[in-house]
Structures are given as structure tokens and as C-alpha cells.
Structure 1
């Protein structure tokens, strides 16, 4: 499934937490790559967008969800912004 469909929020790009410890690269094809601290590609998986709602599932089956509001992602306990 494509990450972005007509009428859905465009989320492709790099999203980082304020302390820059967590960086998520959301790719246009619906895949993501998340770095944590010095650990590159700590988590990888797929994401989908429904309206402004964002769902992730990583390679282990772990899921996370959030919403994009005013250019900020409120994603579980993280609040990354587009870089």
C-alpha cells in the first residue's frame, strides 16, 4: 500500500525529536527507517496514512500509531517534527 493517497496528509521525509535522538525517514513507498541515538536503522518497517492518522508496523510486528497536527507528529510518546 502506498504511504500517501489522495486526500491524505503527505508525511514523506525526515522527522526528528527535539533532542534529535530519534530520527525517522518516512519514504514515499510506505517504508520507514528509524535511527535511535548512534544506532542507525534501529527499526525498519512500513507505515500507512489515513487522513492525518499515521500507523507504523516494524519488522518484528510491533505497531505504533499517531496523528499529524499542524506539521507535528504526535506519535505514541514521541513528538517528532519534520526536518
Structure 2
């Protein structure tokens, strides 16, 4: 998205999981100074029939039968956070 905005694709509002990209857009004259709206946490979601709970989350993550999906590391901060959790 950063590249698209820098290449003049119209955008009214950018909401980002990090401050680096919005700050770069502001520094380069593409946007106003970023403002923190919320703080984020890593969260897990699952299909309703997965029976995922706070208590069994770690066990479910470690279960080889469970298929995990995550945002793309280095392309999305959410993916970076998940890889830090894996580490």
C-alpha cells in the first residue's frame, strides 16, 4: 500500500499496524503527520467449530493437525508479529 500511495494512487485514510509507513508518507510529503489511534495486540481467530479458547490456544497452535494462517512477514506487520511469537 505504501508503494501504491507513493505512486499517486488516491487514498483518503491509511490505517496501519506500524508507524513506519505512515511516517515515511508524511516525511515525503504524501500525507499529514500520523496519529496513533489504538494500540494493537496479537490475536488469534478461528472457525467456530474449532473450539478454540484462551486456555487451549497454545496447545492448538502446537498441534500438528492444526493449519495456521498468518499475514505475510516483511509485507505486513501482523506477519512480523506472528513470526516473533513463533521465535
| Fold conserved between structures, TM > 0.5 | no
Q: Compare CA radii of gyration and give the structure with the larger one.
A: 2
Please tell me the TM-score bracket, short chain as reference: under 0.3
Q: Where is the helix percentage greater, Structure 1 or Structure 2?
A: 2
Query: Which has the bigger relative contact order, CA under 8 A and spacing at least 6?
Result: 1
TM-score (norm 2): 0.20
TM-score (norm 1): 0.20
Q: Where is the strand percentage greater, Structure 1 or Structure 2?
A: 1
